[in-house]
């Protein structure tokens, strides 16, 4: 999430620290010096907006075929330059970051409301300041990159820390991203993804040395500087009084400009005598708030990498025990339409997970072979989801988190056998606390299979049938299995078909012609023509198909999660949406169907 105001300061007020570079030329220099192919580590989530660029419409639900090809071009550009890429994605949301996560989801929900107001009024895609990532873009990007031959890693801690540690452990050429925390870490050069030209590989390097020269501080001072500006541990809002004091701006005046704050903080740091500890600094910054003293030390310590020496302001700090993270938390237990408030002890709701299962889940997590939530549920009994383009004012369509909750409950029975804490946005949920969602056992002969049976059994075809049967049961489609097996459908169409079947069964307002639009856009040959899709014109944007597309893709994301829990009866790559969904094409087919077009017309008169 970065250091508050630092990127703005660098790009607008410290141009000497924003060095124009060409990664191809730098890679050649690196090879001549080290006689090894340069490796660039990419902050996966931090680059999503670069990958899903402004040429791709976002309002329709995702231009997945075009996006897949954009990722291929990105990779090819670096391969041509002789640069190997390693993508590291956030695989967890750490508990200390949950409050910030909630704050961002609440803002996203407000933006979605404004976006739908714009759509209803103007019939066009809203401006990019309201940009919403297509559903599960971060998760699905990992599988797209892997299918294109890239190395993809899910982190088991905060991704920026894991990226910096990776670059310390292995010889790396640099970091590509946009998180200003990478300016603070004492690690390899940091290059801007936002300013990257894919065709030429021109970009900007954010220079730590030049920043420190401007601020008249040393490299080892940067973690303390981060804490005084505001970072993930010490929030910028908590430092407002301190910053006003340093700039000399009273509380009732307008907050000072970022350039004035940065220089005032650097001057303050220059007055700190050596021998002073960070706790002494914290007492000065927060004189009447002792709860923040240890947090400031924690905020600086998170930037220290293996092998780093303690900076001068931390060398004389006595050891201490950090306050317990708090096992008990308020949750809401959902049982039908009732809501019960209760205290939940994380250890009490965590069932025993087989060591072999946990190790295997960790390996698949690290290699990005599983949806990341699988491992998180197993180790913490907790999961979350992001905000989607769903119109909260449309009461005819249930919130996707509520609509697909039964799938998750059955999946929890397979995966965990116990209740799971969910941070899932839906209509009327302020996200002030998680919902505790009880697992629902599957109605199968012999009961719910164990993970060991689903993941490790090797007896074919019985094991494959068990995995499929369990997966279909999670999707509330167990009765369809035998007919599906007789037909032997294209594996790309199994997951979208199950999701649509579930939506028809549980969404009374869903019309047959709307389902026809979903099916037609999936099967017409035009759906695989990325160039043609790019040139497709849609006369207007209508709110209802925008909403339906988001709900459908949420269903796909939960189906993929259940597929992983059930032992991958459907190859995960076969379930990816670039095989069967294009948002703009669906919108086009929806408008045709709404206007009375029959199935033959929807299928471009090709019903062979």
pLDDT in tens, 229-253: 999 899 999 999 999 999 998 888 8
**28, two tokens:** 């050649």
Record: fold of 6-213: Rossmann fold (3.40.50)
Q: What is the pTM of this model?
A: 0.92
Q: Answer yes or no: are the C-beta atoms of 423 and 101 closer than 8 Å.
A: yes
User: What is the structure's pLDDT at 417?
Assistant: 87
Angle at 581 between CA 576 and CA 584, to 5 degrees: 140
- Over residues 332-342, the mean pLDDT reads 45
Name which of 70, 23, 80 is nearest 49 in CA terms: 70
Q: Which residues of 473-486 are buried (b: 16+ CB within 10 A; e: fewer)?
A: bbbbbbeeeeeeee
Angle at 362 between CA 578 and CA 180, to 5 degrees: 70
Angle at 520 between CA 519 and CA 523, to 5 degrees: 85
Percent of the chain with pLDDT over 90: 81
- Residue 425 has what DSSP assignment? -
User: What is the structure's pLDDT at 230?
Assistant: 95
Residue-wise pLDDT for 441-487, tens only, equals 999 988 999 999 999 988 778 899 999 999 999 999 988 888 888 88
* Average pLDDT for the chain: 92
Residue-wise pLDDT for 284-309, tens only, equals 999 989 989 999 999 999 999 998 88
Q: Residue 502, exposed/middle/buried by CB under 10 A (0-12, 13-18, 19+)?
A: buried
- Over residues 79-107, the mean pLDDT reads 92
- Over residues 397-419, the mean pLDDT reads 95
Sorting pLDDT into bands at 50, 70 and 90, what band is 334?
low
- Over residues 564-568, the mean pLDDT reads 97
Residue-wise pLDDT for 195-216, tens only, equals 999 999 999 999 999 999 999 9
Residue 351 has pLDDT above 80, yes or no: no
Sorting pLDDT into bands at 50, 70 and 90, what band is 318?
low
Sorting pLDDT into bands at 50, 70 and 90, what band is 49?
very high
**265, two tokens:** 């903080």
Of residues 529 and 150, the one with the higher pLDDT is 150
Could you tell me the residue ranges of all domains in the chain? 6-213, 220-251+266-314, 328-602
Residue 144 has pLDDT above 50, yes or no: yes
Residue 344 has pLDDT above 50, yes or no: no
Residue 323 has pLDDT above 90, yes or no: no
Q: Choose the weakest-confidence range: 133-142, 293-302, 341-350, 540-549.
A: 341-350
Residue 327 has pLDDT above 60, yes or no: no
Measured distance CA(436)–CA(335) in Å, rounded? 9
Query: CB count, 10 Å around CB of 272?
Result: 18
Measured distance CA(413)–CA(450) in Å, rounded? 9
Q: What are the DSSP E strand ranges found in 288-419?
A: 328-335, 338-345, 382-384
Residue 350 has pLDDT above 60, yes or no: no
- Residue 338 has what DSSP assignment? E
- Over residues 387-400, the mean pLDDT reads 95
**455, two tokens:** 């993941």
**122, two tokens:** 């103007």
3-state helix, strand, coil in the chain (%, to 5): 55, 10, 35
Measured distance CA(388)–CA(549) in Å, rounded? 10
User: What is the structure's pLDDT at 309?
Assistant: 86
Measured distance CA(417)–CA(354) in Å, rounded? 12
């Amino acid at each position: 999430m970065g250091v508050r105001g630092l990127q703005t300061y660098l790009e607008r007020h410290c141009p000497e620290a924003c060095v124009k570079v060409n990664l191809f030329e730098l890679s050649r220099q690196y090879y001549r010096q080290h006689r090894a192919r340069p490796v660039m580590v990419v902050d996966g989530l931090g680059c999503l907006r670069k990958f899903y660029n402004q040429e791709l419409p976002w309002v329709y639900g995702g231009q997945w075929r075009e996006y897949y090809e954009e990722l291929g071009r990105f990779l090819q550009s670096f391969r041509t330059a002789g640069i190997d890429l390693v993508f590291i994605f956030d695989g967890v949301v750490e508990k200390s970051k949950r409050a910030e996560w909630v704050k961002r989801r609440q803002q996203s929900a407000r933006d979605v409301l404004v976006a739908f107001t714009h759509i209803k009024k103007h019939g066009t895609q809203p401006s990019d300041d309201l940009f919403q990532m297509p559903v599960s873009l971060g998760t699905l990007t990992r599988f797209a990159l892997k299918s294109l031959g890239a190395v993809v890693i899910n982190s088991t801690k905060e991704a920026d820390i894991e990226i910096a540690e990776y670059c310390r452990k292995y010889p790396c050429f640099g970091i590509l991203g946009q998180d200003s925390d990478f300016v603070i870490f004492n690690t390899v050069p940091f290059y801007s993804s936002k300013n990257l030209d894919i065709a030429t590989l021109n970009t900007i390097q954010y220079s730590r040395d030049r920043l420190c020269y401007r601020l008249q501080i040393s490299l080892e001072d940067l973690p303390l500087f981060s804490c005084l500006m505001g970072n993930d541990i010490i929030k910028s809002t908590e430092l407002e009084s301190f910053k006003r004091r340093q700039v000399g701006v009273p509380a009732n005046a307008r907050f000072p400009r970022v350039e004035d704050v940065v220089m005032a903080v650097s001057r303050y740091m220059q007055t700190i005598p050596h021998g002073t500890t960070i706790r002494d600094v914290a007492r000065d910054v927060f004189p009447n708030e002792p709860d923040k003293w240890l947090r400031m030390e924690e905020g600086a310590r998170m930037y220290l990498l293996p092998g780093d020496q303690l900076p001068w302001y931390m060398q004389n700090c006595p050891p201490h025990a950090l306050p317990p993270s708090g096992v008990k938390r308020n949750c809401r237990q959902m049982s039908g339409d009732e809501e019960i408030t209760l205290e939940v002890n994380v250890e009490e709701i965590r069932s025993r997970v087989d060591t072999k299962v946990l190790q295997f889940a960790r390996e698949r997590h690290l290699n990005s072979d599983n949806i990341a939530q699988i491992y998180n549920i197993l180790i913490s009994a907790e999961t979350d989801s992001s905000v989607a383009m769903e119109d909260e004012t449309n009461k005819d369509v249930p919130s996707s988190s509520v609509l697909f909750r039964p799938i998750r409950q059955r999946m929890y029975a397979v995966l965990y056998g116990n209740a799971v804490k969910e941070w899932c946005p839906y209509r009327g949920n302020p996200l002030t606390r998680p919902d505790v969602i009880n697992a629902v056992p599957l109605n199968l002969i012999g009961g719910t299979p164990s993970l060991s049976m689903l993941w490790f059994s090797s007896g074919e075809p019985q094991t494959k049938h068990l995995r499929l049967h369990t997966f279909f049961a999670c999707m509330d489609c167990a009765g369809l299995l035998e007919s599906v097996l007789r037909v032997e459908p294209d594996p790309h169409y199994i997951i979208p078909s199950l999701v649509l079947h579930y939506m028809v069964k549980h969404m009374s307002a869903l019309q047959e012609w709307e389902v026809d639009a979903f099916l037609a856009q999936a099967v017409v040959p035009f759906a695989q023509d990325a160039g043609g899709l790019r040139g497709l014109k849609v006369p207007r944007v209508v709110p209802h198909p925008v909403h339906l597309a988001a709900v459908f893709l949420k269903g796909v994301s939960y189906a993929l999660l259940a597929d992983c829990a059930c032992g991958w009866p459907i190859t995960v790559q076969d379930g990816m949406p670039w095989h069967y969904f294009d948002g703009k094409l669906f919108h086009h087919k929806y408008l045709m169907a709404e206007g009375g077009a029959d199935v033959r017309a929807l299928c471009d008169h090709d019903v062979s």
